[in-house]
Structure 1
Amino acid sequence: MAIESEAGAMAPVVAFALVGALGVGSQWLAWRLRMPAIVLMLLAGILIGPVAGVFDPARDIGPLMGPMIAIAVAIILFEGGLTLNFHKLNDAAVGVKRLVFVGAPLGWLTSTLALRYGAGLSWESATVFGGIMIVTGPTVIAPLLRTARLAKRPAALLQWEAIVNDPIGALAAVLAFEVVLVLNTATTVSAAMVDLAIGISIATVLGGAAGYGLARAFKRGWVPEYMKVPVLFALLLAVFGVSDSILHESGLLAVTIMGIVIANANLPSYTELHRFKEHATVLLVSGVFILLAAGLNLDAVKSLDWRAVAFVLAVILVARPLTVLVSMIGSGIPFKEQILIALTGPRGVVLVAVAGLFGERLLSLGFEDAALIAPLAFVLVAVTVVLHGFTLAPFARWLGLTGADTPGVLIIGGSKWTTAFAEALQKADIPVLMTDPNYGHLRAARTAGIATFSGDILSEAAEERLELVSYATLVAATDNDAYNTLVATDLAPEFGRDNVFQVMREKSDNSRHQLPRTLGGAKFGPDETHAGLERLIRDGWTFRVTRLTEEFGFDAWRATRPDAHLMARIAPNGTIRLIRKDEDVNGGPDVRVVSLRPPSTDDGEQPPSDS
């Protein structure tokens, strides 16, 4: 098959492959380099598009690009709606209501003023574009929160605001455009308002009914497990298409409501559905950003003058902070959290996609300044994405609104050996949280000053009360192998499979009683089960932390302590890595090793508290 078709255009199949490879490749590279993924995706799209001219979406994909982006944005918003479980709001509920009911209209006003007096747009163009600027970009917020490791409440506020206000912003632009249309055509005000009301009402009812009907069908077993995701996708596309055909952009509202209804329906298969949607969203976000960046008109961007700079500064430094701070008056949200939210307002693909659409519509009505809407939108997205991508994490740390600076260890199961292990880690300045469903199992840990949670780590109470963002490593170490395997398997997607461990399972002579080896976490430390580790502690074994030096490296440590079981390695920056069996350890100056030592070893080594 030819790589290129007529007139130098890239074959559509190759174009799709290129977009997928660049999008996912950018996300992977960002993970390796610890950089904001959005920044690399924008850069990749611009390089292959307007800079190198290798890929032009309008030329290589053609008229399918618009519908593709519209459907992708709809799926992204639906997946966002799936994350909005009302039980998870807790103390953020008041702030979310303020940001939606007060912040949305106030943001519309302040954004319109920034466009009128900063960018110099006409009132008509500024009002329509100002409505779109209510959105703060769930496609950008999600990866930023994943990287910045924010505390629970400010993260919830930013996530809920972004997802709920996205369809509201699109509908605000529809409302403003209808008003402009009435003032500049023969359309009557009553007819335009009736169409708008009917469209919004149908979108709300359609989304709610679809979500309720789907949840009911899943609960009653009317859909087999293997068809749940295909049925979900088919219904999602149908709801979006029907609603959007009645009132343009109302489909975004319909699918968001559908997602929220499903999220709060207590579906048994909700976790699996949500994880699959998360994976699909990663692909879609990558693709949409690459497409929009590659299709950027550099000439239009170059035509912008100093007013564009004034507009961006007005939005970031005046409009956004003013909107949030006024909305939060009397909310009870701490001022530090208000400041963080006020100075965090990245825009994403929804803004660019919807702004381009309404810019073209306003141009058709004779508003020449509407040609500036698309480039202004892209510049705002690029600046806010880069700015917040690099500053959110350090700014949040400066305000004290992130998890612990040193990623901690979450230990599931209270016992003598886990308590001793937790004490050693805590004395080495590693944050530790120990949980157990049995309150009595945590008595020794509480006495030792270790943070504890009495309850099931998989329960809603744990999800609501614990700041798991502070912990990067999980150890499932109860005396129940099946429960350890369940916890490790269920939380592996959240922590990352490389960071989830469990104690060695008890061996069974009967294969029917053996748990699948593909489930659970990785083994670490000695070849001992929970009972074996308890026995070692009763026999006098202790956990020790040793700091390596240039003169006393890892080989010397191992030579002088042949009976020690290596448990973990603590890097000079404080990050901890549990050691799998037979894993090579990279020792060096200021690296600390955590080991389980027999009682006969007494070589004058400093105890963990002095290491």
Structure 2
Amino acid sequence: MFAVDALILIAGVLLLLGIVSSKLSTRIGMPVLVLFLLVGILAGSEGIGGIEFEDYRLAHGIGTIALTIILFDGGLGTSMAAIQVSWKPSLLLATLGVFVTAAITGVAASWILPELSLLEGLLLGSIVGSTDAAAVFAILRWGGVALPKRIAAVLEVESASNDPMAIFLTVGCIELLLRNVPLGPGLLKLFAAQMVIGSIVGVAGGFAAVWVVNRLELGAAGMYPVLVSACALLIYGVAVQLGGSGFLAAYLAGVVIGNKRLAFQQGIRRFHDAMAWLAQIVMFVSLGLLCSPSRLLEISAKGVLVALVLILIARPVAVLLSALPFRFNWREFTFISWVGLKGAVPITLATFPLMSATQEHPMHAPLIFDAVFFIVVVSAVVQGTSLAPMARWLGLETPREPEPPVSLEISSLRHVDGEVLDYAITEDSRAAGRQVRDLALPGGVVIALIARGDQVIPPQGFTRILAGDHVIVVLRPGTKPFVDQVFGRNPPERTVVPAAVEFPFRGTTTVGELEEFYSIAIDAHREWTLDRLIREKLESEPVQVDSVAQFGSLRFRVQRLSSDGKIELVAMSILE
């Protein structure tokens, strides 16, 4: 057997064990990253696998590539609405919060671990100062914890954007220990470059990637996800070459791309979701291979003390100072303080001292690496396993959206002016209990199918929609605000209907239906159709295409007439 054959066999076994452990994690309530690390430890030199792996540079490279993929996928799944409601507290948590966490933890570490000087203790604190995006995404998106949208958005955006501060503090401490840079403006310049350049490259690169994907006609659908992945890696590389944060750039590029219309969009998202899972398994298993359990046992007592200071003192103080201006209640404050999950980023950053240490300046790099690894495991086990009970105890857990039993999508190699949406019908949805023909949907909107349990129901006019159904709707993008009014929950999923935008309605839609489904009140008989409403308003004027009738702030324009002169389609707009 060639060496590469053995390597492929080992890789396949480790991947399978990682996948099986992810299934096990949901049953025992253990964060999946802990089990991935455990697989790596068991396969390592002191485990049953006996695999010798001490290449810190390779581990750092694997961790960097994997984190880029995970952060990019996290950006793809982050809506602009989440950014808008969370960017202010998230930005403070990602900067001031990381600094305060690093300072308190670093001072405590230099006291608990007497081998470390104060500056070496601050280096350890800087390494563990940030929350880890891979860990947070794994818990919040795939770990069974459903939270209010504002809290979830703050935690996700913070974890994705706080790496520049942690890298800045870590590199700054190393440079000070190596005496390569004095304390002062040089460090501030490094941080500013990381944040500003990373942000500019990420946003600009995201828009450029959207432009390329929508205009480059590829012959095979499978090439589009590969093209987007190449753009993500390119954006990371450009940001780093210019002195910025590649991680921040990758995340922001994902946000831009995920909130734009793309060719083969659903296929691109599914591909990167799979890549993110693969990256997590490879990264955590590789980092687990680096671990020596015997060394962890030696540091366990002191490591627990440092972890307790980090979890119970440093993180809460940092959250208090950062989130105080934003009026979080005590429940939200407590939960945000508890979600200071550590993961791959600290372990990856812990390889920096190992690669930078010299004989003149050893920096106690092996001790720092072992301490960081132990703190990450404690954080993941203690905080990760208790997130769901903590959310329930604080009354913050919200009902999870039921998984749709079927899916439908438009698969096109070109940009098409349409989309497919899946609405989970709840008791407070306006569509619940109504027949399809009574929904008064806008023109250009079609219910493609209804999924009820394990049944697929082709919709007909008399089909009644029930709570618990999944309604698959094909629509033109401009009609979405009105469709949300019909199928969305009351009130959080009902988007505001924009002003000065025309929405098509059938001429047979009644005044009562507009009020019932869209909360649009018109001073007219409820049973009147839009056809009759417009004719009554125009009185003796002839009704023709582009005829206009106005009722207060509502404007109705005739879009289409039938061969016998009936109004088939009306464009309604709300005047500002």
Q: Fold conserved (TM > 0.5)?
A: yes
Matched letter for residue 232 of structure 1 = V
Look up the SS of the partner of 2:53 in the other structure: helix
Query: Take 1:53 and 1:289, find their aligned partners in 2: how far apart are those partners?
Result: 18
Residue number in structure 2 paired with 1:172: 169
Q: Residues 243 and 502 (structure 1 numbering): CA distance in 2 closer, same or farther, change over 3 Å? A: same
From 33, 36, 39, the equivalent of 1:38 is 33
Residue number in structure 2 paired with 1:607: none
Residue number in structure 1 paired with 2:462: 531
Q: In the alignment, does 2:457 pair up with 1:504?
A: yes
Larger displacement relative to structure 2 (193-202 or 216-225): 193-202
Larger displacement relative to structure 2 (95-104 or 219-228): 219-228
TM-score normalised by L of structure 1? 0.63
Please tell me whether the aligned partners of residues 135 and 162 of structure 1 are also in contact (alpha carbons under 8 angstroms): yes
From 99, 103, 110, the equivalent of 2:97 is 103
Query: Take 1:194 and 1:17, find their aligned partners in 2: how far apart are those partners?
Result: 44
Aligned-residue identity in percent: 25
Larger displacement relative to structure 2 (101-110 or 335-344): 101-110
Residue number in structure 1 paired with 2:313: 318
From 132, 150, 153, the equivalent of 1:153 is 150
Q: In the alignment, does 2:211 pair up with 1:240?
A: no
Q: Residues 395 and 238 (structure 1 numbering): CA distance in 2 closer, same or farther, change over 3 Å? A: same
Look up the SS of the partner of 1:482 in the other structure: strand
Where do residues 413-492 of structure 1 align in structure 2 (5 Å cutoff)? Answer: 432-436=426-430, 482-484=448-450
From 336, 352, 357, the equivalent of 1:341 is 336
Matched letter for residue 308 of structure 1 = G
Matched letter for residue 152 of structure 1 = K
Please tell me whether the aligned partners of residues 100 and 318 of structure 2 are also in contact (alpha carbons under 8 angstroms): yes
Matched letter for residue 67 of structure 1 = G
Look up the SS of the partner of 1:303 in the other structure: helix
Matched letter for residue 457 of structure 2 = M
Aligned residues: 441
Matched letter for residue 231 of structure 1 = L
Query: Take 2:365 and 2:313, find their aligned partners in 1: how far apart are those partners?
Result: 23
Query: Take 1:143 and 1:368, find their aligned partners in 2: how far apart are those partners?
Result: 33
After superposition, what is the alpha-carbon deviation per residue over 1:194-243, rounded to whole angstroms, capped at 9, x for unaligned?
Answer: 77766766544433332221112223455665422111222322333454
Please tell me whether the aligned partners of residues 410 and 433 of structure 1 are also in contact (alpha carbons under 8 angstroms): no
Following TM superposition, by how much is the alpha carbon of 1:20 offset from its aligned partner in structure 2, in angstroms? 1.1
Please tell me whether the aligned partners of residues 82 and 150 of structure 2 are also in contact (alpha carbons under 8 angstroms): no
After superposition, what is the alpha-carbon deviation per residue over 1:356-398, rounded to whole angstroms, capped at 9, x for unaligned?
Answer: 2234424555144332111111111111111123211111101
Residue number in structure 2 paired with 1:575: none
From 128, 131, 145, the equivalent of 1:136 is 131
Residue number in structure 1 paired with 2:498: none
Matched letter for residue 256 of structure 2 = V
Q: Residues 436 and 50 (structure 1 numbering): CA distance in 2 closer, same or farther, change over 3 Å? A: farther
Query: Take 1:390 and 1:454, find their aligned partners in 2: how far apart are those partners?
Result: 47
Residue number in structure 2 paired with 1:162: 159
Matched letter for residue 212 of structure 2 = A
Residue number in structure 1 paired with 2:495: none
Larger displacement relative to structure 2 (312-321 or 43-52): 43-52
From 263, 282, 285, the equivalent of 2:280 is 285
Q: Residues 62 and 82 (structure 1 numbering): CA distance in 2 closer, same or farther, change over 3 Å? A: same
Query: Take 2:122 and 2:232, find their aligned partners in 1: how far apart are those partners?
Result: 31
Q: Residues 505 and 243 (structure 1 numbering): CA distance in 2 closer, same or farther, change over 3 Å? A: closer
Please tell me whether the aligned partners of residues 132 and 354 of structure 1 are also in contact (alpha carbons under 8 angstroms): yes
From 376, 382, 386, the equivalent of 2:381 is 386
Where do residues 246-325 of structure 1 align in structure 2 (5 Å cutoff)? Answer: 250-267=245-262, 269-304=264-299, 306-325=301-320
Query: Take 2:147 and 2:202, find their aligned partners in 1: how far apart are those partners?
Result: 31
Residue number in structure 1 paired with 2:529: none
TM-score normalised by L of structure 2? 0.66
Q: Residues 17 and 167 (structure 1 numbering): CA distance in 2 closer, same or farther, change over 3 Å? A: farther
Q: Residues 173 and 441 (structure 1 numbering): CA distance in 2 closer, same or farther, change over 3 Å? A: farther
Look up the SS of the partner of 1:12 in the other structure: helix
Query: Take 2:461 and 2:350, find their aligned partners in 1: how far apart are those partners?
Result: 59
After superposition, what is the alpha-carbon deviation per residue over 1:461-486, rounded to whole angstroms, capped at 9, x for unaligned?
Answer: xxxxxxxxxxxxxxxxx9x65153xx
Residue number in structure 2 paired with 1:576: none
Please tell me whether the aligned partners of residues 79 and 277 of structure 1 are also in contact (alpha carbons under 8 angstroms): yes
Query: Take 1:531 and 1:245, find their aligned partners in 2: how far apart are those partners?
Result: 61
Larger displacement relative to structure 2 (91-100 or 74-83): 91-100
Q: Residues 192 and 481 (structure 1 numbering): CA distance in 2 closer, same or farther, change over 3 Å? A: closer
Query: Take 2:432 and 2:264, find their aligned partners in 1: how far apart are those partners?
Result: 28
Following TM superposition, by how much is the alpha carbon of 1:333 offset from its aligned partner in structure 2, in angstroms? 1.5
Look up the SS of the partner of 1:435 in the other structure: coil
Please tell me whether the aligned partners of residues 120 and 363 of structure 2 are also in contact (alpha carbons under 8 angstroms): no
Query: Take 1:238 and 1:57, find their aligned partners in 2: how far apart are those partners?
Result: 32
More helix by share: 1
Following TM superposition, by how much is the alpha carbon of 1:135 offset from its aligned partner in structure 2, in angstroms? 1.8
After superposition, what is the alpha-carbon deviation per residue over 1:51-106, rounded to whole angstroms, capped at 9, x for unaligned?
Answer: 434143627x8974442232112211222233333322454444323323432332
Please tell me whether the aligned partners of residues 109 and 130 of structure 1 are also in contact (alpha carbons under 8 angstroms): yes
Q: Residues 309 and 32 (structure 1 numbering): CA distance in 2 closer, same or farther, change over 3 Å? A: closer
Following TM superposition, by how much is the alpha carbon of 1:410 offset from its aligned partner in structure 2, in angstroms? 9.9
Please tell me whether the aligned partners of residues 97 and 319 of structure 2 are also in contact (alpha carbons under 8 angstroms): yes
Please tell me whether the aligned partners of residues 176 and 183 of structure 2 are also in contact (alpha carbons under 8 angstroms): no
Q: Residues 90 and 207 (structure 1 numbering): CA distance in 2 closer, same or farther, change over 3 Å? A: closer
Q: Residues 503 and 234 (structure 1 numbering): CA distance in 2 closer, same or farther, change over 3 Å? A: closer
Please tell me whether the aligned partners of residues 167 and 256 of structure 1 are also in contact (alpha carbons under 8 angstroms): no
Following TM superposition, by how much is the alpha carbon of 1:42 offset from its aligned partner in structure 2, in angstroms? 2.6
After superposition, what is the alpha-carbon deviation per residue over 1:288-341, rounded to whole angstroms, capped at 9, x for unaligned?
Answer: 111111220223323326432221110011001111122121311221011011
